[in-house]
Every structure is written in C-alpha cells, then in structure tokens.
Amino acid sequence: MHKVLSALRKQAKDCPDRIAFSDGERRVGYDELEAMTNAVASGVRDLPDVIAILAPNGIDWVAGWLGLARAGKTIVTLPPFFSKQQLDHIVGDSTAAHVICSDEMAHLASSPGLPISLISDHIKQTDGVVHSGGQPRLIVYTSGTTGAPKGVRLSAAQVDWSAAALKQAVDAGAEDHYLSVLPFALLLEQICGICVSVLAGAHVTIACDVATSLMAGDPSKLASAMERTQPTISVLVPEFLAAWVAFLSAQGGRAPENLRFVAVGGAPLAPAMVVQAVNLGIPVQEGYGLTECCSVVALSRPGERLAGSVGKPLDGLDVTIVDGEIVVSGPSVMDGYLHGEAVSGCWHTGDLGSMDEEGNLHIMGRLDNLLVLANGRNVSPEWIEAMIASDSRIAGCSLEGHGQNRTRVSIIPSLSGARWFAAANPEAVDQLIAELCHQAPDYARPGSWRVISQPDLATG
C-alpha cells in the first residue's frame, strides 16, 4: 500500500483541511488522518510482525489499518460478523501474535488469548516521529463456505495496483463523496472505501450502522444516509440494493441526484432488479471479483451499463474463458493461500462465464454447482435462480434436476407474494416463470415447479 500511503502524505501536505473521513461522531481532515496513521505506526513499531485488527467501522478502523501498513506489518482482518470459532481459527492459522482493537471489542479481541492494545491508545501516545516499516502485506480470510476460512495472501503492490485501476475505471476525483456502507472487514471496502478514496483525495462518510440495520431488515437507514450525505459514489451488495429499491418504491422516493455511480457485486444481480433501480435514479454498475484477485476483476464503467453483464475487465488484467471457466491473469492475482503453494499471476476462478464480442464479461455460476441434464446440457443453478428470485413475490428458490431431462424449481413465496401464489392457477405460475427466464435458453428453463409454503419449511 505504498502508493496509497504516499498519496495520503501528499493529500495532507497539499490540502490539509480537506475532509478525509467522517463517521457520524467526528470528521478528520487529511492532515489529521496522516497524523493518526503515523501515531499508530509508531505505537505498533516494536510489536510482532503479524497483527490482527478488530473494530467496528469508523475512523479508528481506518487509522489503525493504515498505521499497520505504514509500520510494514502483515495485517490480518478479523471480521466482527464471523463466529468465535472462525475468529479463533483465523488467529491460530495466521500466526497473529497481537490484536489492535476498539474499546468496545476489547473483550472479543482478547478471547483467543493474544495480547491486545487499543487503537485509540496508539493514536494518543504518538511521539511525533514517523516510523515507516518494510513491506506491508494482507492476509484476508474467505468466508469458508466449504470449510474453515482460508487466508489469501496479498502484497502491497497488488493492493496498490487494484486501487489505481479502480480509481481510473470509475474516474474518481477529489470532488467525489463516497458513502461507505459495507464493513471494512471486507477487502472490497478496504480497496474502495479507503484506498481508492485516498488516492483520489475524496471525502468518505462512514455510515456505521447501515449494514447492521439492513441485515435486520430495515432499509430506512440506508435511504436516510443517502439523502443526508448526498454522495456521488457508493458500493453495495445485491441484497442491500434490493432492500433500498423496495424502500424507495414503497415510499415513492428516488435516489439522490448527486449519485453518479453505485457499484454492485458479490452475487448475481437479476436484470429486472437493475431496471427497477435505474428507474428510481440509482446508477447501478455491476461488477465481478473475488478475494483471490484482490476483490475486483471486471466492472461496468460509467455510461456503459449492459444488462446481464459485469462489464469489461480492469485495464491490465487478462480474462479468458477456458472450457467455460473464468481465468484471470495479471498484477492483482494473489500470492497464494496461506500455507499453500505460490500462485504465479494466473488464477482459475471456478466461476463459469462468457465474453461477448465487445469484451464484456457475463457470469453464469459456479463450476462445481453445475447441473448436468440427461441430454448432456449443463445448467448453472445460480444463473436461473437469480432470474426467478428477482420477482418481489418470490423470497427464494432452488433449482434441481441433475441427471433428469429438465430442471425443476422450488419456490418460496415472499410475505407479499404468498397470497398471489395461493390464488394463482398453474398456467399463471408457468407464465410467470417463463417471463422471468425469457433470457435463458429453452433447455435451462425449469420444466416444472413447486411452491413451498412456510408450514412445509417448518416440517422439512
């Protein structure tokens, strides 16, 4: 993160009073953020090389993370939303020997038995001397959907390259105002909310409680934060976008006029959802990436939205399709998994995709989730499920049919859709599914369906 840290130093010198970050309780200019970063670097200078960070979103998290980088430490991010078992695994697997944390998370941070120190104490105890260390590194743990979380090793150069490429892709500048909603524990938000913003000299507002509110089913705080701060850029996951769209639709509202770019990634985004969002003034731009490639691989640029596509690869990345699988080569590919073999700049993602004639990438699902029909055709369930679940009457669905002639979809109605499904005849449901899946080839469309009621779910 040397380029990011150099940019921070330059911003502090050239525009010291420009607001860098605000979090609802306070705001700091670039000069103050630089001083906080140096203070943390000074405080952790003599601590072990591998240090974990655990804190809620806020200015202290930013200063702590940047301070560890300036001190040349290997940074292990501890997501507050991971279970204690997952956190204990990360601490042990990463060989972290110290944890810096916020006051309110000190108890959780100390549970693995490591020594801890408070980020706020490091900031207060500065000696006024800049202590820059060697080469900072990141160890970022995946969510571990198929087992224990795995540590992805990333160098400062990979982070710098990704941040610079994203800054160019979205044309970020000092006039931009970024609304940070996602947890900083996610690599995507570290890159976008911190690194890109510092490179651009932009103002970041950290909406600390929005993600928690959204996870609890309340999108009002996201809508309020958008209206209050009038940002130009933000990054969301599909679930958060859907909640915001539903709230604006119900309230008769629209997105702020200043908003020029909302990147959405992390899961398939149904074309119907994009249309709804755009009609509400949300400038949605789809993206695709994975931790192993420093978070972002492809992104739809401003003014280049194409339904069903995640846009073109970042300039400098080589993305090819090999036997249907997306393969990424270039400077953002990880060094490898912790305790695993080194990776030499090329990564087989395990994701299915295709490239159109204009160079736009289309995501089709996961290679290991393919349904192989009796006629030999391959169907990615995520692809079809995303289409069907885009309807507000449907809370969720699951596609099956491996080895069968046609697929079958199981549908869970939403609370608002339960009445519609109860009254609908089979022909109406057939027509609904056909309309939702009209972009899929005939063989991939469900040949049959069933509706699962809430009592059915309760009894298994």
Q: What are the chain's domains?
A: 2-362 (3.40.50.12780), 370-459 (3.30.300.30)
pLDDT score recorded for residue 201: 97
pLDDT value at 457 more than 70 = no
Tell me the whole-structure pTM to 2 decimals. 0.84
CA distances from 382 to 174, 369, 386, 414, 444 (A): 38, 8, 6, 19, 11
DSSP helix/strand/coil, 321: strand
Q: Stretch 365-386: mean pLDDT, rounded?
A: 81
Q: Is the separation of the CB atoms in 27 and 17 below 8 Å?
A: no
Q: Is the dihedral of CA 353, 355, 359, 363 positive or negative?
A: negative
CA–CA gap between residue 234 and residue 263 (Å, rounded): 7
Which range (49-53, 115-119, 449-453) has the least confidence?
Answer: 449-453
Give the pair of three-digit tokens for residue 416.
């608002």
Half-sphere exposure of 302 (CA within 13 A, CB side): 13
Give the pair of three-digit tokens for residue 144.
């571990």
Instruction: Pick 176 or 84 by higher pLDDT.
Output: 176
Q: Is the separation of the CB atoms in 202 and 226 below 8 Å?
A: no
Long-range contacts of 36-39 (CB under 8 A, 24+ apart): 36/63, 36/67, 36/123, 37/5, 37/8, 37/63, 37/66, 37/67, 37/70, 38/67, 38/70, 38/126, 38/129, 38/130, 38/131, 39/63, 39/67, 39/122, 39/123, 39/124, 39/125, 39/126
Residue keyed to tokens 């690869």: 313
- Percent of the chain predicted with pLDDT > 70: 96
CA–CA gap between residue 238 and residue 227 (Å, rounded): 20
Give, as one character, the DSSP assignment of residue 190. Answer: I
pLDDT value at 314 more than 80 = yes
Give the pair of three-digit tokens for residue 277.
């969002």
Q: What is the pLDDT confidence band of residue 129, given thresholds at 50, 70 and 90? A: low
| CA-based R_g, the chain, Å | 23
pLDDT score recorded for residue 458: 41
